[in-house]
């Protein structure tokens, strides 16, 4: 009766619980491990204790009839007996997850890949457990011919099957083994994390080193050196903390004098567990799991976070220093930088936390129906960005009659509830925005649609008060119904400002502008246009561009700004007021990220699908020419993915769907360089975002970026964006000189940011 490794079981349970499946297909039932595990952790764990309460439908396929006994029927709804290769294509159902538990190696490579593709087409997820390498020869055993091993696999084999998560480990005698979670679209966002928000599954061996585990060999020799260094550092830290000088300093820090000294100056962050909660939450717990000086950096030691007695330091594997902080009502304080980063746990027992920084306070509701990590950037406004609301797998649920958009790991523009209209007819988000504008009294409010990632990123970096319409990225601006559009116009009219900047300018925004003017005739409305001249060939862009020009000629629109250098001259040639707003990135630029040396260069490609403006094929061909490159990317359409497979390009993770910004930023930091050599742009945000994250970005010769810096211009601007060999040479040079490029960017960017702020000041003063 078939059985196999046990070391991967916790990882697989964590993945299955995050998937929370409704229908499961277990290929190669054998002893029935995965039926039992799925039943326990996807039914019983959710309080469906007795068999009559079970909801998950579990089907199985078993080739060796003698393996199936009466107890299997207690866990499985249906078990098909026969050759899985023949049965799988005939099954009519779609499954939440298909499990290949040590099964693929029993098929020829050609047949196994065929079955994987069928399963990926018919399942939300495919979970593969499989021995790695050539160390697993096996013939038929206990008269079961299906036990023969007919193929061998390495971790890279799964890269082209939409891999979202993996664990590499060794069995009880040191042989390599792997677990791989595959998905075409990752609807539950397993790429961001599994069910346990603080789970830490580390690969037990490097993907390219599977041939030895002898003492002093590539695996154990390096491991011994690492463990020795870790032990040395642990002793060093322990010695320091036991010293009289350290303990005296700790007493000073804990004293009232220390508290007074610690709170003087800039960059202090106050964190308050309010003792309040969402009505749906079970508790008011606030779990703080990360405190970073800068985004993407390691957490500071917990000893440097001042807190009252209500905050408890809890041991927790997988978190910084193996610990985190928990409070239900209390205050903590820490001094960081001009752009700090905090992370909290969101789960069904979470309460509300108030974060204060630089004179501003925001209350963040940490309740969520599932466990996940929420990233907070106190220097940004809002501190949690709305891009998180649209991370892959974001689900909306109903809590006491209100529809709640659950923010996912990584943070975003703002965490808010999307509710039915209240007494004044406004949503909770609209009411909070109006309240914030009343308190801050800004010069202007900008309006952006978060479904347009680049436009919204540009807008929130230039204008502190950006109003989102629609409120989430899932909603398409062009699909907004008239009643919702009117409510947005009325909410904008309630804001005590006289100037409104419509960023993007689609047909919905134009109609919203006209409704706003009818409610508030004295309002001054501007267009912030992000298009370029060649886009006049696009019917939609040309039609709404004409509408805004006609409105400007009538006096409904005061001026038209662009982020493309020189576009203001074109607008003025039409007899209208024109401006240029220079895109920038808020926050302190980061240094070059540390990336594990695996002998290859990791390159990022982050697009929003393939159009004539952003064609990826020359860049993909350049990777083939450059050699020794691995691609990590998102927003690549089906043809681009086909090109990747056909050219045999090595990949980390590539996907069709775009990433929300905070997840995108995490992914960029895992690469040596970014490829964004597009054909048409105004002033692209992605190269600036990448460089701000410490990663050089190549771009096309279609914007004003770096024209004032010969060093950066020569190394980052590709003069011939359609020539793969030119892109390849530029890429190799950028990777080789990335330390110098990032250092020069850090010297260049303060002057550029000053010009950007001046462009906004001049625009608002006009």
Angle at the Cα of 475 from the Cα atoms of 549 and 656, rounded to 5 degrees = 100
Which residue, among 432, 407, 409, 429, has the nearest Cα to 418 in the 3D structure? 429
Contacts 24+ apart (CB under 8 A), 259-265: 259/306, 259/333, 262/306, 262/333, 262/335, 263/333, 263/335, 265/335
3 state DSSP class of 470: coil
Task: Please compute, for residue 102, the number of CA atoms within 13 A of its CA located in the half-sphere on the CB side.
Answer: 23
Q: Rounded to whole angstroms, how far apart are CA atoms 352 and 688?
A: 34
Q: How many CB atoms lie within 10 A of CB 509?
A: 26
Cα-to-chain-centroid distance, residue 418: 22
Contacts of 8 (CB under 8 A, 6+ apart): 129, 167, 169, 177, 178, 179
How many residues are recorded in the chain? 766
Give the pLDDT confidence score for residue 254 in this predicted structure: 52
Its sign, for the CA torsion 15, 16, 21, 23, is positive
DSSP classification of residue 304: G
Distance, in Å, from the CA atom of 287 to the CA atom of 343, rounded to the nearest integer, reads 9
Nearest in space to 489 (alpha carbons), one of 465, 476, 508: 508
Whether 388 contacts 407, CB under 8 Å: yes
> Which spans in 95-243 are helix H?
109-122, 220-242
| pLDDT value for 2 | 55
In the beta sheet, which residues pair with residue 126? 98, 182
Q: How far apart are CA 387 and CA 661, in angstroms?
A: 6
What are the φ and ψ backbone dihedral angles of 619, each rounded to 5 degrees?
-65, -40
Which segments in the chain show pLDDT lower than 70? 1-3, 134-146, 172-173, 197-200, 202-266, 317, 381, 385-424, 609, 662
By the 8 A CB rule, do 101 and 34 touch? yes
Residue (of 486, 391, 395, 503) closest to 446 by Cα position: 503
Q: Is 375 helix (H, G, I), strand (E, B) or coil?
A: strand
* Tokens of residue 207, six digits: 């993907």
Q: Which of 462, 467, 468, 463 is closest to 390 using CA atoms? A: 468
Strands (E), 583-628: 601-606
**Whole-angstrom distance, CA of residue 661 vs CA of residue 646:** 29
Residue 239 has a pLDDT of: 53
Pairing of strands 499-503, 445-448: parallel
Closest listed residue to residue 675, CA positions, set 615, 627, 628, 589: 615
The pLDDT score that the predictor gives to residue 183 is 94
Enumerate the H helices of 535-679 as residue ranges.
539-554, 567-573, 617-626, 638-647, 661-668
């Amino acid at each position: 009766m078939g059985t196999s490794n046990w070391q991967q079981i916790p990882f697989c349970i964590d993945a299955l619980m995050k998937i929370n499946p409704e229908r499961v297909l277990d290929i190669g039932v054998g002893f029935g491990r995965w039926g039992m595990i799925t039943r326990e952790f996807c039914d019983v764990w959710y309080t469906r204790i007795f068999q009559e309460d079970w909801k998950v439908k579990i089907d199985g396929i078993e080739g060796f009839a003698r393996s199936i006994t009466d107890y299997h029927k207690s866990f499985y709804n249906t078990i098909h007996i026969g050759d899985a290769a023949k049965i799988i294509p005939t099954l009519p159902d779609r499954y939440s997850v298909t499990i290949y538990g040590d099964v693929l190696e029993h098929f020829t490579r050609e047949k196994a890949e065929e079955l994987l593709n069928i399963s990926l087409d018919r399942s939300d997820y495919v979970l593969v457990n499989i021995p790695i390498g050539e160390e697993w020869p096996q013939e038929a055993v206990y008269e079961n011919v299906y036990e023969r091993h007919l193929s061998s696999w390495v971790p890279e084999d799964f890269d082209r099957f939409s891999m979202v998560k993996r664990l590499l480990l060794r069995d009880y005698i040191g042989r390599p083994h792997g677990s791989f979670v595959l998905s075409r679209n990752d609807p539950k966002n397993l790429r961001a994390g599994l069910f346990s928000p603080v789970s830490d599954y580390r690969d037990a061996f490097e993907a390219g080193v599977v041939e030895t585990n002898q003492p002093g060999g590539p695996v154990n020799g390096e491991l011994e050196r690492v463990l020795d260094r870790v032990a040395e550092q642990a002793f060093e830290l322990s010695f320091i903390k036991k010293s009289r000088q350290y303990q005296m300093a700790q007493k000073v820090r804990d004293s009232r004098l220390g508290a007074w000294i610690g709170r003087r100056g800039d960059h202090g962050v106050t964190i308050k567990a309010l003792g309040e909660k969402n009505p749906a939450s079970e508790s008011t717990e606030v779990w703080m799991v990360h405190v970073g000086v800068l985004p993407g950096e390691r957490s500071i030691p917990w000893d440097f976070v001042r807190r009252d007695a209500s905050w408890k330091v809890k041991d927790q594997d997988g978190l910084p220093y193996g610990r985190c902080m928990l409070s239900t009502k209390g205050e903590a304080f820490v001094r960081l930088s001009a752009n700090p980063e905090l992370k909290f746990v969101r789960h069904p027992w979470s309460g509300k936390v108030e974060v204060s920084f630089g004179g501003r306070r925001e209350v963040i509701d940490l309740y969520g129906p599932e466990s996940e990590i929420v990233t907070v950037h106190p220097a940004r406004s809002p501190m949690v960005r709305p891009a998180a609301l649209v991370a892959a797998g974001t689900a909306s649920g109903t809590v006491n009659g209100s529809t709640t958009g659950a923010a996912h790991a990584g943070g975003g523009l703002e965490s808010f509830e999307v509710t039915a209209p209240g007494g004044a007819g406004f949503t909770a988000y609209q009411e909070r925005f109006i309240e914030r504008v009343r308190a801050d009294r800004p010069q202007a409010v900008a309006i952006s649609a978060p479904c347009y990632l680049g436009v919204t990123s540009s807008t929130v970096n230039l204008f502190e008060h950006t109003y989102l319409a629609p409120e989430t990225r899932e909603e398409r601006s062009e699909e907004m119904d008239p009643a919702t559009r009117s409510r947005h116009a009325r909410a904008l009219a309630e804001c005590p400002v006289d100037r409104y900047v419509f960023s993007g300018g689609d047909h919905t925004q134009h109609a919203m502008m006209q409704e706003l003017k009818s409610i508030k005739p004295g309002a001054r409305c501007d267009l912030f246009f992000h298009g370029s001249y060649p886009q006049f060939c696009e019917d939609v862009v040309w039609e709404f561009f004409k509408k805004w020009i006609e409105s400007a000629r009538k006096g409904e629109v005061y001026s038209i700004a662009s982020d493309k250098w020189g576009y203001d001259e074109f607008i003025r040639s039409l007899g209208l007021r024109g401006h240029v707003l220079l895109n920038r990135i808020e926050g302190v630029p980061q240094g070059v990220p540390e990336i594990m040396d695996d002998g290859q260069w990791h390159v990022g490609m982050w697009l929003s699908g393939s159009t004539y403006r952003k064609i990826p094929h020359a860049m993909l061909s350049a990777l083939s020419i450059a050699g020794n490159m691995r691609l990590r990317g998102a927003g690549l359409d089906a043809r681009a993915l086909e090109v990747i497979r056909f050219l045999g390009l090595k990949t980390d993770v590539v996907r069709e769907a775009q990433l929300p910004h905070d997840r995108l930023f995490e992914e960029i930091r895992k690469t040596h360089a970014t490829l964004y050599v597009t054909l048409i742009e105004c002033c692209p945000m992605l190269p600036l975002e990448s460089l701000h994250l410490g990663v050089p970005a190549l771009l096309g010769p279609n914007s004003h970026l770096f024209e004032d810096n010969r060093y950066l211009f020569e190394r980052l601007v590709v003069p011939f964006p359609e020539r793969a060999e030119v892109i390849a040479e530029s890429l190799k040079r950028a990777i080789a000189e990335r330390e110098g490029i990032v250092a020069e960017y850090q010297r260049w960017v303060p002057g550029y940011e000053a010009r950007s702020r001046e462009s906004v000041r001049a625009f608002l003063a006009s």
